[in-house]
Amino acid sequence: MLRRTLPAVFALMFSTPLLAGQQTLFNFVRPAAVVNVQTEDASLPQYNAEQTASGEVLRRVVFNPVERPNLKLSPQTGAWDWSSATAMTLRLQSGMDWALTVDVTVQSNDGRTLTSRIDLPAGPAQTVLVPLVASSPLSQGMRVGPPMPWTHEGQRVLLSSSAGEIDLKQVVSVTLSMSKPNVAQSILIERFGVQDDDLLQKAAYNGLIDGYGQFSRGRWPEKISNDEQLKTGAAREQQQLKGWLAEHAKLKQDKFGGWTGGESFPAKGFFRTEKRDGRWYLVTPQGHPFYSLGVNAVAADGGRTYVAGREAMFSSLPQEGQALAQFYGEGNNHDGNGSSKGRNFDQGRWFDFYAANLERTYGKPCTPVSTELKAKGEHLASPCPAPAFDASRWQAHSLDRLQAWGFNTVGNWSDSELEKSDRVPYTLPLAIVGDYTSISTGMDWWGAMPDPFDPRFAMATERAVAIAARDHRDDPWLIGYFADNELSWAAPGNDPKARYALAYGTLRLTTDVPAKRAFLKQLRDKYRNQEGLSKAWGINLTAWELMEDPGFEPPLPNPEHPEIEADFKYFQQVFAETYFKTISDSLKWHAPNHLLLGGRFAVSTPEAVKACAQYCDVLSFNVYAPKPQDGYDFSQLAALDKPVLVSEFQFGSRDRGPFGPGPMEVAREEDRGPAYAAFLKAAAAEPSIVGAHWFQYLDQPASGRLLDGENGHFGLVGITDVPFPGFVDSVRKANLQLLEQLSKPVAKPKPQG
């Protein structure tokens, strides 16, 4: 491999002033013989530095289109002592007309590394900060950090994340690299050094959220700057809703939202499923086809975010005694699940920006009595009443929106009061909580897998279903129940240990876990003794009791011993069948009128899906893909011959406040509507799909929701309760077009001969 060393002579040229707390270790424009600079499959092609369009002078580094071109910096002798530093700094600019990704690796003499991936935008140079202690937006309580760079003291500053750990007293190298560039790519660099304090890192998050819960540094059309905008916008929206609701009333629908102008089915008083002419249908209690277009999390509590310990992040929080102070509360989401791992600021005091904004919009104005007038005994105005969130107004308004926008289902995680309106059909989740044993698959995002072989799981299921069905047993507006949500049926990845994580996780446990006893019984019934198992699995198991030990690690599946994989599959199949049968049996007893809508799979296995199809009325998948067929192989589902509900899908962008776009990112807000329409069109083309539910009603707080710090923009409305008009209009048109299309009778096949 080609290696080159940087020349040591340059002309004295202009450099950007340092920010406070920075120390330069090496300047590429005025280099000194204190740092070794080496390139591997990269080069510094020009002898002199160059002046950029913005007037800065930097040095070009070209990375060749190979596996891992890099630029390495190291001390002339010994190691750097960075024990008093908080971050490494780089003055960088993309040398191209587009953004680049640069990987940074800092190594100490013991071989440990700290890594960072820098998304270097196109445009002028910025000072890049790489924290020397592992750091990410999670350390600030949120999943995705604010847009970078931002301007501080007149300079663009980019704070990156970092992972790993090094000996800060013995730093021996810093490497900048790119991963497999397709063509030669170049960056411009001025200097590298360290930051001695954490003031810049704090500045990146200080004052980040304004008094309305919005990103303070951003600009977008729907952004609110005063209360009058909220009131004016609400009045304007109300007029639009009246027109849309009048159009909705003219649609050929029964009262449940089933289409009356097409197919008809026997009316049986509750929602059910039926297959006709190759297409699956949901059928309303009145016997009409129903395509479930739903919205998840139609709830007024989604604007809560923790403020305890990070008050400086918020530019304006209500003081005690002020009207909006009633929207503070206390919580604790430090639950030990994968969703809370590595996250700070996940408990303590929170503030509900959404509820506060509803009060600003719809609260009744009043004139408070002055202290002076009170002292005189005059009563020229009545005291201001304490603000109160008008739940009934919000509920009616939200249902108006759903119907006006072409939705016909209140999805999971929604306000329970919406169920009582007798206006819009709804679904319910079954949260099965108890003291039963559980099994880690390595995913455990919302917790470990429940052990369905544990009798206590059946008891917990019976209790959960009985409670859920108590007030809904005879409600025709209830479509059905979901069997929990996004359970960890497998671990991330495609390797065998991920695919069969449930089997591996079970065998590692002790024999007081019912699932392990069930697995061992399965193997003993099949192989009789350790000799039979040893031969089938290609291992030397000297005593059956060795499998009972905690931490037992079975072999990987391999072609020479196919019984390993066959045994794993069989166990996972029985596991899933036991799980879904337990729920199905309980639901048939307590709620025989309603559907079991499946397990809302995010990660699944073929065994789990097959068992779900056996015991549930509907298969449900949370699909984060451009279209449903990209999220799951529907040719495999066809063999199961079950209706399918897309229980979650979304498209988000980064240009409306919240920093994350969610799993399915589009470039701009304007792209969300076309992406939504394309997804629905693809769903309608799949004859097994009976509905699709959007996630979610409301944008998540930019500073992170209570549950896990998610902070995505994929709502129909923002944290201010202001709808995103372009997206809502596109959604409405797509919904109505799909319902109109599916209301047409299915063409009957022509008789042969």
442 plus 389 within the same structural domain: no
* Separation in Å, CA 454 to CA 395, 464, 523, 550, 615: 40, 16, 19, 18, 19
185 plus 306 within the same structural domain: no
What are 29's two structure tokens?
Answer: 């424009």
419 plus 429 within the same structural domain: no
Residue-wise pLDDT tens digits, 264-304: 999 999 999 999 999 999 999 999 999 999 999 999 999 99
566 plus 493 within the same structural domain: yes
What CA–CA distance (Å, rounded) separates 82 from 281?
65
Mean pLDDT for the stretch of residues 514-522: 97
CATH of the domain at 145: 2.60.120.430
Residue 59: enclosing H or E segment and its boundaries? strand 57-63
Mean pLDDT for the stretch of residues 431-443: 92
Residue-wise pLDDT tens digits, 474-505: 999 999 999 999 999 999 888 999 999 999 99
Q: Are strands 150-152 and 155-159 parallel, antiparallel or unpaired?
A: antiparallel
What are 447's two structure tokens?
Answer: 């917790």
Mean pLDDT for the stretch of residues 610-632: 97
Q: Are strands 150-152 and 438-439 parallel, antiparallel or unpaired?
A: unpaired
Return the pLDDT at 59. Answer: 93
Average pLDDT, the chain: 92
Q: Is residue 158 part of a domain?
A: yes
Whether the CA torsion 13, 19, 21, 22 is positive or negative: it is negative
235 plus 303 within the same structural domain: yes
- Strand-pairing partners, residue 85, are none
* Separation in Å, CA 197 to CA 20, 89, 125, 205, 443: 9, 12, 22, 15, 37
Q: Is residue 637 part of a domain?
A: no
Give the residue from 167, 186, 203 where a domain finishes.
Answer: 203
Three-class SS state of 312: helix
Token look-up 């994350």 returns 660
Residue-wise pLDDT tens digits, 324-336: 999 999 999 998 8
130 plus 35 within the same structural domain: yes
- Strand-pairing partners, residue 36, are 74
Return the pLDDT at 5. Answer: 43
Return the pLDDT at 472. Answer: 95
* Residue 139 contacts residue 344 (beta carbons within 8 Å): yes
Q: Is residue 649 part of a domain?
A: yes
Q: Is residue 490 part of a domain?
A: yes
pLDDT of 399 higher than 70: yes
Give me the number of domains the chain comprises: 3
Return the pLDDT at 15. Answer: 64
What are 89's two structure tokens?
Answer: 């700094």
Q: Is residue 372 part of a domain?
A: yes
Helices (H) and strands (E) in the chain, counts: 16, 32
pLDDT of 609 higher than 60: yes
* Residue 63 contacts residue 184 (beta carbons within 8 Å): yes
Q: How many CB atoms lie within 10 A of CB 498?
A: 16
Return the pLDDT at 19. Answer: 80
* Residue 708 contacts residue 143 (beta carbons within 8 Å): yes
193 plus 210 within the same structural domain: no
Residue 45 pLDDT class (50, 70, 90 cuts): confident
* Percent of the chain's residues with pLDDT above 90: 84
Residue type, 190: E
188 plus 210 within the same structural domain: no
Residue type, 633: D
Q: Is residue 639 part of a domain?
A: no
Q: How many CB atoms lie within 10 A of CB 153?
A: 10
**Full domain range(s) for residue 127:** 3-203
Mean pLDDT for the stretch of residues 132-151: 95
241 plus 377 within the same structural domain: yes
* Residue 273 contacts residue 595 (beta carbons within 8 Å): yes
Those residues with Cβ within 8 angstroms of residue 367's Cβ, 6 or more apart along the chain or in another chain:
381, 384
Q: Is residue 193 part of a domain?
A: yes
pLDDT of 388 higher than 70: no
Mean pLDDT for the stretch of residues 235-261: 95
Return the pLDDT at 47. Answer: 73
CATH of the domain at 400: 3.20.20.80
* Residue 556 contacts residue 503 (beta carbons within 8 Å): no
First-last CA distance in the chain: 73
What CA–CA distance (Å, rounded) separates 35 from 74?
6
Give the CA angle between residues 23, 26, 29 to the nearest 5°: 115
* Residue 53 contacts residue 28 (beta carbons within 8 Å): no
* Residue 415 contacts residue 355 (beta carbons within 8 Å): no
Residue 11 pLDDT class (50, 70, 90 cuts): very low
725 plus 652 within the same structural domain: yes
Q: Is residue 285 part of a domain?
A: no
Instruction: Output b/e per residue, 55-70; b: 16+ Cβ within 10 A.
Output: ebbbbbbbbbeeeebb
75 plus 132 within the same structural domain: yes
130 plus 142 within the same structural domain: yes
Mean pLDDT for the stretch of residues 222-243: 97
